[in-house]
């Protein structure tokens, strides 16, 4: 991310994902990878920083994998609103630049 908080690249470490799901076999590596990608896309749309709860938490452990498995690991309300605003702004910029 640059100084303005804009980013264009995210990383997901498959080895760490496999290790975590091996340590806490509550979900599959594939399912966790999807949530990690979602988390990283959240950074690109919300900005840097982590939260104490939800999908934007800094690290995942047994409780987060259990929540993920029950589909209750989510973005917080204000995060969802911020993501929606950024996506709408990008869509309007794209629509205004088409020939």
CA 13 to chain centre: 14
Residue 98 backbone zone (phi > 0: left; psi -120 to 50: alpha; other: beta) = beta
E-state strands within 13-89: none
Tell the residue number behind the tokens 């702004």, with chain if given: 89
Can you read off the two tokens belonging to residue 91? 């869509």
Mean pLDDT per block of 10 residues along the chain (99 residues) reads 72 96 96 96 90 94 94 95 90 71
Structure pTM? 0.84
What is residue 4's DSSP assignment? T
> What's the CA gap between 61 and 82, in Å, rounded?
26
């Amino acid at each position: 991310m640059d100084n303005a908080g804009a980013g264009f690249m995210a990383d997901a470490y498959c080895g760490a994902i496999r290790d975590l799901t091996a340590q806490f076999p509550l979900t599959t590596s594939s399912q966790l990878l999807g949530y990690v990608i979602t988390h990283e896309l959240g950074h690109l749309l919300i900005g840097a920083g982590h939260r104490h709860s939800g999908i934007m938490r800094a690290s995942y452990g047994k409780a987060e994998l259990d929540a993920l498995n029950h589909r209750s690991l989510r973005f917080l309300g204000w995060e969802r609103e911020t993501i929606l605003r950024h996506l709408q702004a990008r869509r309007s910029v794209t629509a205004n630049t088409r020939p």
